[in-house]
Structure 1
């Protein structure tokens, strides 16, 4: 009878015994120094920016306090009244401003809004000045005792800011300012040829003009061919009227072929 083969008994494992495992340590890859520095740069920069911002918030106001605006300089303004008006208009804008924060655009708008200002430029001047260069409107007449008229015919409110001595006084319908100014310039040019100037001109709705000249002579002329009629008068004035001992008080030019003369001294 054949025998079964004998099994080799397995060795006993002690309590808690476990099969041995072989541990293999993996070495972490080495990161080049350049890459580590590059990775650290954003964080460093962010920290620096934060430090700068905090320092700016703390110290910048103190630094700017050393550069307050102390002066508003104005060039191109010829009268102390207008100089004072500019200073008053801008005082609130520059009171708490410094050299760097001065609101130049607001200053420009405020100065340009003055009725007698034709043009203006604004700039900073180190270390404590805002400088304005202003071009003034040049008045040539007073219109209806309420506004001034500039050389280009524009009305503007500034009676208290100008010396009105020597300015002619023009009166007429409000809507006819352009026509009246046209008459004034044409008539003034013709009268200057004989040394006469216009002190006052009153124009009615039909555009008949009554002039008071600088020698107190009165002249009446209608709009119909007024240039030809004034030329006739200037020829007579140069040749006869200016030398007449009676003195001309008034001339009426509303005639097609002549003039009517009123003398100061009717008995001479």
Structure 2
């Protein structure tokens, strides 16, 4: 929603000398632009409370920048003085590429942020121990690229405390990949999957790829 501008009324002269002295170049207007579709005016008003005191020259633009960047959806912010009486705040928002863990989102650079409420987005579900976000995202991308060779769509990837990987497909099937030789195990599974011609409409339930020379399959219609 680039170009959207929101005006927030400012009575900056109340800040100097406990309201007795009007500052030089009083701050009268604050305008916002950039990526604002995920932001609410009420949230912006709240984080800017106490930061818009004084005149245009004395207002703390770094404090304002930090305040706006404290909002979950905000990645970076620039604050400019606009003569003679305004501030212009430009917002660059996070763009999520995955859901991370319990109640968080992740960007393409593996930055994790926690908006509330969490929006309903059609994104892959990734999970792992603390500090593993970048590793899990990188692994998911590599596995998704491998699966492009077959009609299997990845939906989620989890790394457990034992550093073992489980990939879940869009149809609900799970691939247990283990800890080691993950790419090689998936490549072997894909090569064999392309030779399977009698699956019909059957949906995969579980594929255990942790065997040294093969894998075990179970279908969803099996007990």
Q: TM-score per shorter chain, which class?
A: 0.7 to 0.9
Segments of 5+ residues of structure 2 without an aligned counterpart are 1-20
Per chain length, whose mean CA-contact separation is higher, i.e. which structure has more relative contact order (CA < 8 Å, sep 6+)? 2
| Aligned mates of 1:193, 1:187 — CA distance in 2 | 11
**1:225: Cα distance to partner?**
1.2
Q: Which has the larger radius of gyration?
A: 1
**1:173: Cα distance to partner?**
2.5
Does structure 1 residue 77 correspond to structure 2 residue 36? yes
- Secondary structure at 1:140 match in 2: strand
Of residues 172, 181, 185, the one that matches 1:216 is 172
**1:104: Cα distance to partner?**
1.9
Structure (1/2) with the larger strand percentage: 2
| Aligned mates of 1:183, 1:195 — CA distance in 2 | 19
**1:132: Cα distance to partner?**
1.6
Whether the aligned pair in 1 keeps the contact of 2:171 and 2:204 (CA below 8 Å) is no
Does structure 1 residue 246 correspond to structure 2 residue 189? no
Per-residue CA deviations over 1:164-214 (Å, capped at 9, x if unaligned) read: 422333333224444333322222222244354433323222322222211
**1:242: Cα distance to partner?**
9.0
Does structure 1 residue 90 correspond to structure 2 residue 51? no
Of residues 112, 115, 123, the one that matches 2:80 is 123
| Aligned mates of 1:73, 1:117 — CA distance in 2 | 13
| Aligned mates of 1:75, 1:242 — CA distance in 2 | 53
Whether the aligned pair in 1 keeps the contact of 2:205 and 2:220 (CA below 8 Å) is yes
Whether the aligned pair in 2 keeps the contact of 1:241 and 1:248 (CA below 8 Å) is no
Corresponding residue of 1:206? 162
Structure (1/2) with the larger helix percentage: 1
Task: Show the 5 A alignment for 1:150-161.
Answer: 150-156=107-113, 158-160=114-116
- Secondary structure at 2:50 match in 1: helix
Structure 2 CA distance for partners of 1:119 and 1:222, relative to 1, 3 Å = same
* TM-score where L is the length of structure 1: 0.62
Q: What do you get for the CA RMSD once the two structures are aligned?
A: 3.1
Structure 2 CA distance for partners of 1:128 and 1:192, relative to 1, 3 Å = farther
* TM-score where L is the length of structure 2: 0.73
**1:152: Cα distance to partner?**
1.7
Segments of 5+ residues of structure 1 without an aligned counterpart are 1-59
Structure 2 CA distance for partners of 1:75 and 1:162, relative to 1, 3 Å = farther
Corresponding residue of 2:3? none
| Aligned mates of 1:155, 1:213 — CA distance in 2 | 23
